[in-house]
Amino acid sequence: MIMRLFMFILVLGGASFEVTSNRLSQYEVIEKDYMNWVKQKSSFKHSLFGKPKNKLKPCLTIRVNKKPSLAEFATVKKAISSIPVVNHCRVVISIGAGIYREKIEIPATMAYITIVGAGADKTVIEWDDTADKMGQSGHSLGTYGSATFAINSPYFIAKNITFKNKAPLPPSGALGKQAVALRISADAAAFIGCKFIGAQDTLYDHIGRHYFKHCYIQGSVDFIFGNGLSLYKHCHLHAVTNSYGALTAQKRESMLEETGFSFVKCKVTGSGALYLGRAWGVFSRVVFVYTYMDKIITPRGWYDWGDKNREM
């Protein structure tokens, strides 16, 4: 049984938004492809998001390296802190190989940040918070606050880097063990060649228009979740669960919302039994197009979150 406004599509029609040019680098092509997609989505007259005003040409490059002699900063957090709180130009932070054990949050006014690693297998930002952990306020962090890397500013780009939450895989039915690797809570963001590693609630695709290409996303339950309007192209989605899990939990609450997750030419692998999604919102919307799936998907496909009103 398929959830209301969930879709499983085998054929994709309509215009292509790919950009190709012999004079552009691979990443310039991907970035232009991404901007074309964002501009096309802005034509839908979103109430929350206006026409994108991205800036791809950098005005400053900052280097981060575990060896201080090779860069301006030894930590990612210090590099980000060096950028003006209200930022108006594209700043590239080039991060050398290594494991950076840091918890990072980019404020809403610090737009146009690009994070570039030495390779997703070489550059890792990791932390291990869970939703039930107590924060400095004396209250639990919650899912929102558990993120290793959180982005609140628009026009963010990440390339060739891993975002990881090291919290262990929770037992079935455990409470408060949501552990976000990355949270994106802003518009017009792109992730290219990145890895997102975690267990429950790995990637919080919270709000905004987001573009993921050639990414690897690993988790157990609801490991891609939120209410973003997001396109995932050529991504590898890998489940790590010994029992039942869910790939997505999309939170579209109204037929008037234009949010949803689209997976195009992706691959789903892993262990356990996996739902394609759980209907977190009454009108949850997820699309899979030309996507390979291992024999781990439950025949039912979708779960209604215990609410029959979320079924067609």
222 is a catalytic site residue: yes
pLDDT of residue 24: 56
pTM of the model: 0.86
pLDDT tens string 44-74: 444 444 555 778 889 999 999 999 899 999 9
pLDDT of residue 300: 86
- Under 8 Å CB-to-CB from 132, ≥6 apart: which residues? 140, 141, 175, 176, 177
- The CA-CA-CA angle for residues 182, 187, 193, to 5°, reads 50
pLDDT of residue 312: 55
pLDDT under 70 in the chain at which residues?
1-32, 34-52, 305, 307-312
pLDDT of residue 301: 86
pLDDT of residue 54: 73
Of the residues 222, 294, 304, 307, only one is catalytic, namely 222
Domains and CATH numbers, the chain: 7-310 (2.160.20.10)
pLDDT of residue 133: 95
Burial 2-11 (b: 16+ CB within 10 A, else e): ebbbbeeeee
- The CA-CA-CA angle for residues 225, 237, 192, to 5°, reads 85
